[in-house]
A and B are shown apart, each in its own frame.
Chain A
C-alpha cells in the first residue's frame, strides 16, 4: 500500500485526478501482475503513458471505439482477471452503456471502468465532455459499484481497493490539476463505508468527489453563523453506506452535494435510502440542476452551478430559514 504523507498529498493535488490514476495503476502493476489496463485512444489522457511504456503486454488500446473497448475488457475478464478500462466519463458510461450493462451488469465480469474528467472539469470543452449523468447511469445498472473519491490520496486508495475487488465497478474521477487536498494521511478507506470528516449536531452535509472539500469549506462558514454541520465523505454511491446515512436522521437538515446532476446521483441514493423512514429531516439536494451548464472555465462553472463553499453555505442557510 502506498504511504500517504502531506508532501505526497500536495504532489497528487498538483498532478490532478488523471495523473494520480495513472501513477496508482503503475505502482499497483509493479506489485502485482493480475490485472490489465485498456483505453480508447486516451492512454496519455489517463496518465497511463508510463504504464504503457513499462508494461506494454498489460496495456491495450482499443482505438476510438468505446463499445469495443468494453467487449475487449470483458473477454479479458471472462476468467476473473481484473481489467481497468478508461475513457472520458460520458464515452465510457453512455456511448458504451449497453456493453457495460451486458458485460459488467448482467454477466458481472470483473471490469473496472474509469470515467476521466467527470463533473465539470472539462470546462471549455463543453457539455459533450462533461460527466454530469455518468454516476446516475452507472448506479441504475444492477450489480454495479460506483465510487467517486474526494482527492488524490483517496484516488490512490480507491485504485488499490479496486485491485482487490472482484466485482465490476465504476470509478468516477472529478477535478483536475490543483485538486483540493482533503486527506494528508491514511483515511481508512473501504469501498461502501463513508468517512466522517467533521462532527456536527445541527445539519449533515453528505458529499463526494471534489464536493467533499467544498462541503468542508461550507461547514466552516456555517459554523461562523452558528450552524454546527457534520460532513461525510460518501465516496461510494453504490452500495450506499445506509448506516451512515441513517445516522443523520436526528439532524434538522440533510444536504447532499455532488459535482453531478441532481437527477439520479448521490442525492437520489441518499433520498432513496431515507424515504421509507417515518421521522426524517428535509433533504436539500445540491448539484447541477438538471441542465447543461453554459461552458466556461472550471471556476466559472462551479460558481454558475452554485458549487463553491460560499454558495453551498448560502443555499443551506436559505433552506434553514425556510
Chain B
C-alpha cells in the first residue's frame, strides 16, 4: 500500500500530465476542470485499491473502472500512465495529431480502457451489467463507476442506479465526483438534484461522503466493508490545484497559453 505522501506525489504527477496534455491540445483545449477534480479519486483507485496487471490486461479477475464522466479522459490517461498501461510517449502524443487518446476515451483493454465514453449517463448501466456478469461467473472482481454530479441530471443514471441494488450488486461501487459545477453553471441553478444522499439511500445504497481531495478519506471510504452496493459522494473542487481554474465555470474546458501553463505548473508544484 502506498502511504499518504506517495499517493499525494502520484496525484501531483497526474495533475502535471493533465496540464501537459491540455497544453499540447493547442487551441481547442481540453476538459481541465473536471479532470482536475477527479485526480485523487483515480489516484487512490489505481494507487492502492484496484487489482490490475497491464501485462495481463484481459485477465478475468481484474477490477474494472468505468469513468462515466468520460470528458475527464485527460485524468484517466495520466492515471493509466501511473498504472503502467500508457507510456510516456502515449502521454506526449495524447489529444493531438492522430493519437488514439483523444478527448473522450475509446475502449482499448490493452491500454486499460474498459469502455468508450463521451455520452453522459451511460456508464452506470454498463458497469451494472459488468458487475452482474462477474457475479454470475463467480469472479471476485469489483467494478468502480465514476459519475459526475452534473451527469446525474440524466434519467438513465437512475434507471441503472435502481438496477444495481435490485440485482444486489455488492461488487459495484459508485463514486460521484461532486464538484458542484456543470457546463452552464452551478448544479443547483441548472437542475436541482434534491437531496442527493437521500436519493441514493432510498434505493438501498450504503451512502458515504468524503473529501474528494483527501486520499486517506477516500481510501477509507473505498475500503469500508458493506453488504450493500456503495456510493461514495466525493466533495471536490472543479479545476483543483490551479488557482485560476478552481471553481470557475469557464474552465469546464479551456486552453492553456504558454503563460497560463507555466503558472499552472507552479501552482501544482507548490
CB 8 Å contact bits of B123-141 with A (1 = contact, 0 = none)? 0111111111100100000
Contact check: which of A67, A98, A101 meets B159 at CB < 8 Å?
A: A67
CB distance from B145 to the nearest CB of A (A): 11
A72 touches B (CB below 8 Å)? yes
Considering the chains assembled together, what is the distance between the CA atoms of A98 and B122 in angstroms?
9
Does A99 have its Cβ within 8 Å of any Cβ on chain B?
yes
List A contacts of B165 (CB < 8 A): none
The reply to whether B156 and A99 contact each other, CB–CB distance below 8 Å, is yes
Report the count of interface residues on A (CB-CB < 8 A): 25
Task: Give min CB distance, B168 to chain A, whole Å.
Answer: 13
* Interface residue stretch chosen among A73-81, A134-142, A166-174, A271-279: A73-81
CA distance A73 to B156 in the complex (A): 14
Do A74 and B125 contact each other (CB < 8 Å), given the known contacts A65-B159, A79-B133? yes
Output the nearest chain A residue to B160 by Cβ-Cβ distance: A68
Q: Chain B contacts of A74 at CB under 8 A?
A: 125-126, 129
How far is it, in angstroms, between the C-alpha of A67 and the C-alpha of B124 when the chains are bound?
A: 11
Q: Is A31 an interface residue (CB 8 A)?
A: no
Q: What chain B residues lie within 8 Å of A68 (beta carbons)? A: 125, 128, 156, 159-160, 163
Instruction: Tell me the dominant secondary structure on chain B's binding face.
Output: helix
**B125–A72 contact, CB under 8 A?**
yes
Q: Is B253 an interface residue (CB 8 A)?
A: no
B128 near A107: Cβ-Cβ < 8 Å = no
| B3 within 8 Å of A (CB atoms) | no
With most chain B CB atoms within 10 A of its CB, the pick from A71, A73, A103 is A71
Main secondary structure of the interface of A (DSSP, over half): helix
Bound CA span A98–B156, Å: 11
Q: Looking at the complex, which one of A57, A63, A77, A99 makes contact with B125 (CB distance below 8 Å)? A: A99
Q: Say if the beta carbon of B26 comes within 8 Å of chain A.
A: no
Given contacts A65-B159, A65-B163, A68-B163, contact A60 B125 (CB under 8 A): no
Within 8 Å of chain B (Cβ to Cβ): is A29? no
Q: Mark contacts of B86-121 with chain A using CB atoms, 8 A cut-off: 1 yes-contact digit, 0 otherwise.
A: 000000000000000000001100000011101101
Q: Is the CB of B130 within 8 A of A107?
A: no
Contacts of A101 in B (CB 8 A): 119
Which chain A residues numbered 155 to 205 have a C-beta less than 8 Å away from chain B?
A: none
Chain A residues in 8 Å Cβ range of B129: 71-78
Residue of A63, A68, A99 with highest tally of chain B CB at under 10 A:
A68
How far is the CB of A81 from the nearest CB of chain B, in Å? Answer: 7
Q: Does B193 contact A (CB under 8 A)?
A: no
Docked pose: A65 CA to B160 CA in angstroms: 9
Cβ B128 vs Cβ A102 within 8 A: no
Question: How many residues from B make CB contacts under 8 Å with A?
Answer: 29
Shortest A175–chain B CB gap in Å is 31
| A107 close to B115 (CB less than 8 A) | yes
> Which residues A57-109 have CB closer than 8 A to chain B?
57, 60, 62-63, 65, 67-68, 70-79, 81, 98-99, 101-103, 106-107
Partner of B136, one of A57, A70, A98, A103: A57
Which chain B residues border A70 with CB–CB below 8 Å?
125
Closest approach, in angstroms, between the C-beta of B107 and any C-beta of chain A? 5
Residues A90-130 near B (CB distance < 8 A): 98-99, 101-103, 106-107
B116 and A102 form a contact (CB under 8 A): yes
| Distance between Cα atoms of A65 and B166 in the complex (Å) | 13
A65 cross-chain contacts in B, Cβ below 8 A:
159, 162-163
Cα A52 to Cα B228 with chains together (Å): 26
Picked from A63, A75, A102, the residue with its CB within 8 Å of the CB of B119 is A102
How far is the CB of A188 from the nearest CB of chain B, in Å?
35
Instruction: Give the distance to chain B from A133, nearest Cβ to Cβ, in Å.
Output: 21
Nearest A-chain residue to B155, judged by Cβ: A67
Contact A72-B163, Cβ < 8 Å, known A81-B133, A106-B116, A107-B116: yes
Contact assessment for A98 and B119 in the assembled complex, using a CB-CB cutoff below 8 Å: yes
Residues in B whose Cβ lies below 8 Å from that of A67? 121-122, 125, 155-156, 159
5 A-B pairs with the lowest CB-CB distances in the bound complex, closest first:
A75-B129, A71-B125, A68-B159, A75-B130, A65-B159
Residues of A with Cβ closer than 8 Å to B? 57, 60, 62-63, 65, 67-68, 70-79, 81, 98-99, 101-103, 106-107
Sample (30) of A-B pairs whose CB atoms are under 8 Å apart: A57-B136, A60-B132, A62-B159, A62-B163, A63-B162, A63-B166, A65-B162, A65-B163, A67-B121, A68-B159, A71-B122, A71-B156, A72-B163, A73-B129, A74-B126, A75-B129, A75-B130, A75-B131, A76-B132, A78-B126, A78-B129, A98-B119, A98-B122, A99-B122, A101-B119, A102-B116, A103-B122, A107-B107, A107-B115, A107-B116
